[in-house]
């Protein structure tokens, strides 16, 4: 059966991995919409290759270039953030939400409102919107399948079991490129060092998040909304080899883990084929070659991000949206060379203190909090 597919954030790392799987199973998919922020030449190339119905660039100033690149192709083009939302609202059978940051929230919500399958990579959207998003999923009968490797692992380990039987869920963390760095060395870490991840090849923002451990912090909040077992049952463990992608411990004493190579095509394939399975070209897991799997507790002194994220999740309401927005702005300032690496967590901590946890009732409420937290963090970054 041919299914229709849209990829929001088609030109990114997750977009490329998704389209690589589609390329290998071309006859199974009809591509509806592909979107990008500003890389119109990449977007146009993908739109032609996959005979997309629609290509959308979020940066409206790039629309003429996109129109020119797709002239004569018969592919519809559009530009601007609202056009990305409308593309998502086309209601493909499967929408891969792979935009980075809260910029992906409104499009992801629009896809959810169509009631299809949402394969979610864009963790910032869920972290920011929390119950506003999970309530929309229920209301519209949508299916939210996590692509984030840890959450996909947990989803697989939970399959068929009641959350009541779960004693704990453990998210594994590689620890990032600075896992073994001293606090002193961390304060001098450069953007080039931060984006060089030992195990995974990812976009710049998530690579920095992995270095600060905010990625694991966001993932803790993501898990809290996807698998509501209670925050006290959600744990984090550092596992440098990134082979065990996460674990679920049941009350009967069984712990189920999902293992695999560090290749995002594995969790993406799991979501695309769900509830079935599909082949991927990923290297088989060679445990004898890997030799050892090691685990250790996270160090929240050097990496306060997971502690801040847990506090934000406990506070609830719009506080996770504040944490996410402050982190996005601080990461951008770090990448631009404006603030030191260790200021990222310091600024998030400071901005979190400026907000009370009023629960957002709608997407508009979440976006308002997001905008206010961004403005506060920008002021801080500018005065740094």
Residues at the contact surface with ligand NAD, assessed by CB under 6 A: 9-15, 36-37, 39, 58, 84, 98-100, 103, 121-124, 148, 200, 202-203, 206, 264
379 marked as part of a ligand binding site = no
The listed partner (Mg ion, ligand NAD, none) that binds 202, CB under 5 to 8 Å by sort, is: ligand NAD
Q: How far is CA 309 from CA 4, 33, 346, 349, in A?
A: 36, 34, 13, 10
Q: Which is nearer to Mg ion, 114 or 149 (CB)?
A: 149
174 marked as part of a ligand binding site = yes
The listed partner (Mg ion, ligand NAD, none) that binds 82, CB under 5 to 8 Å by sort, is: none
Closest separation between CB of residue 103 and Mg ion, Å?
Answer: 19
219 marked as part of a ligand binding site = yes
What does DSSP assign to residue 107?
A: H
Give me the sign of the Cα torsion angle 223, 228, 230, 235: negative
The listed partner (ligand NAD, Mg ion, none) that binds 317, CB under 5 to 8 Å by sort, is: none
DSSP H helices in the chain? 13-24, 40-49, 63-69, 81-88, 105-113, 123-129, 131-139, 149-158, 183-186, 191-194, 204-212, 214-226, 265-273, 287-290, 305-315, 319-335, 343-352, 363-383
Burial class (CB in 10 A: 0-12, 13-18, 19+), 20: middle
Burial class (CB in 10 A: 0-12, 13-18, 19+), 350: middle
The listed partner (Mg ion, ligand NAD, none) that binds 14, CB under 5 to 8 Å by sort, is: ligand NAD
Q: Which is nearer to ligand NAD, 11 or 306 (CB)?
A: 11
d(CA 188, CA 339): 10
Residues touching Mg ion, count (CB under 5 A): 3
Closest separation between CB of residue 36 and ligand NAD, Å?
Answer: 4
The listed partner (Mg ion, ligand NAD, none) that binds 112, CB under 5 to 8 Å by sort, is: none
d(CA 7, CA 285): 28
The listed partner (Mg ion, ligand NAD, none) that binds 132, CB under 5 to 8 Å by sort, is: none
Q: Which is nearer to Mg ion, 148 or 328 (CB)?
A: 148
216 marked as part of a ligand binding site = yes
Closest separation between CB of residue 81 and ligand NAD, Å?
Answer: 6
324 marked as part of a ligand binding site = no
Of 305, 173, 150, residue with least CA distance to 226: 150
105-113 vs 131-139: helix axis angle to the nearest 10?
20
Q: Do 56 and 89 form a contact (C-beta atoms < 8 A)?
A: no
In this structure, the number of other CB atoms found within 10 A of the CB of residue 9 comes to 28
311-340 b/e (C-beta count within 10 Å ≥ 16 → b): ebbebbbbbbbbbbbbbbbbbbbbbeeebb
The listed partner (Mg ion, ligand NAD, none) that binds 103, CB under 5 to 8 Å by sort, is: ligand NAD
Q: Which is nearer to Mg ion, 200 or 250 (CB)?
A: 200
d(CA 331, CA 344): 6
Of 69, 70, 106, 67, residue with least CA distance to 86: 106
172 marked as part of a ligand binding site = no
Closest separation between CB of residue 224 and ligand NAD, Å?
Answer: 16
Q: Which is nearer to ligand NAD, 6 or 122 (CB)?
A: 122
The listed partner (ligand NAD, Mg ion, none) that binds 203, CB under 5 to 8 Å by sort, is: ligand NAD
d(CA 158, CA 227): 9
Q: Which is nearer to ligand NAD, 41 or 382 (CB)?
A: 41
Residue nearest to ligand NAD (CB): 12
Binding mask 133-152 for Mg ion (x = CB under 5 A): ---------------xxx--
Q: Do 313 and 358 form a contact (C-beta atoms < 8 A)?
A: no
Which residues are documented as binding site for 1-deoxy-D-xylulose 5-phosphate? 123, 149-150, 174, 197, 210, 215-216, 219
**Sequence ranges of the binding site for Mn(2+):** 148, 150, 219
Instruction: Please enumerate, by residue number, every residue annotated as part of a binding site.
Output: 11-14, 122-124, 148-150, 174, 197, 203, 210, 215-216, 219
Q: List residues binding Mg ion (CB under 5 A).
A: 148-150
């Amino acid at each position: 059966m041919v299914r229709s597919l849209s990829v929001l954030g088609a030109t990114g790392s997750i977009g490329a991995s998704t389209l690589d799987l589609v390329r290998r199973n071309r006859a199974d998919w009809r591509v509806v919409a592909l979107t990008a922020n500003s890389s119109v030449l990449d977007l146009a190339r993908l739109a032609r290759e996959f005979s997309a119905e629609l290509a959308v660039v979020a940066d409206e100033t790039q629309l003429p270039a996109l129109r020119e690149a797709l002239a004569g192709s018969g592919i519809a083009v559009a530009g601007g953030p609202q056009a990305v939302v409308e593309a998502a609202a086309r209601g493909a059978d499967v929408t891969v939400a792979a935009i980075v940051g809260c910029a992906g929230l409104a499009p992801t919500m629009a896809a959810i409102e169509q009631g299809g399958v949402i394969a979610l990579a864009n963790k910032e959207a869920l972290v920011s919107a929390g119950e506003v998003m999970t309530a929309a999923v229920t209301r519209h009968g949508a299916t939210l399948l996590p692509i984030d490797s840890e959450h996909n692992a947990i989803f697989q380990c939970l399959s068929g079991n009641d959350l009541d039987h779960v004693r704990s869920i453990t998210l594994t963390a590689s620890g990032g490129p600075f896992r073994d760095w001293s606090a002193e060395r961390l304060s001098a870490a450069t953007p080039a060092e931060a984006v060089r991840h030992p195990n995974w090849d990812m976009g710049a923002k998530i690579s920095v998040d992995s270095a600060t451990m905010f990625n694991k912090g966001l993932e803790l909040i993501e898990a809290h909304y996807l698998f509501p077992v209670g925050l006290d049952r959600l744990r984090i463990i550092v596992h440098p080899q990134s082979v065990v992608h996460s674990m679920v411990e049941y009350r009967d004493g069984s712990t189920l883990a999902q293992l695999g190579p560090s290749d995002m095509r594995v969790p993406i394939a799991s979501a695309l084929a769900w509830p079935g399975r599909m082949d991927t070209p990923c290297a088989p897991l060679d445990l004898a070659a890997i030799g050892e799997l090691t685990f250790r507790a996270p160090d929240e002194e050097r990496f306060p991000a997971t502690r801040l994220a847990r506090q934000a999740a406990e506070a609830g309401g719009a506080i996770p949206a504040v944490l996410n927005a402050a982190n996005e702005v601080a990461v951008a300032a770090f990448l631009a060379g404006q603030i030191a690496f260790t200021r990222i967590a310091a600024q998030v901590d400071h901005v979190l203190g400026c907000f009370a946890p009023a629960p957002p009732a709608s997407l508009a409420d979440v976006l308002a909090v997001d905008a206010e937290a961004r403005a506060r963090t920008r002021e801080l970054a500018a005065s740094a």
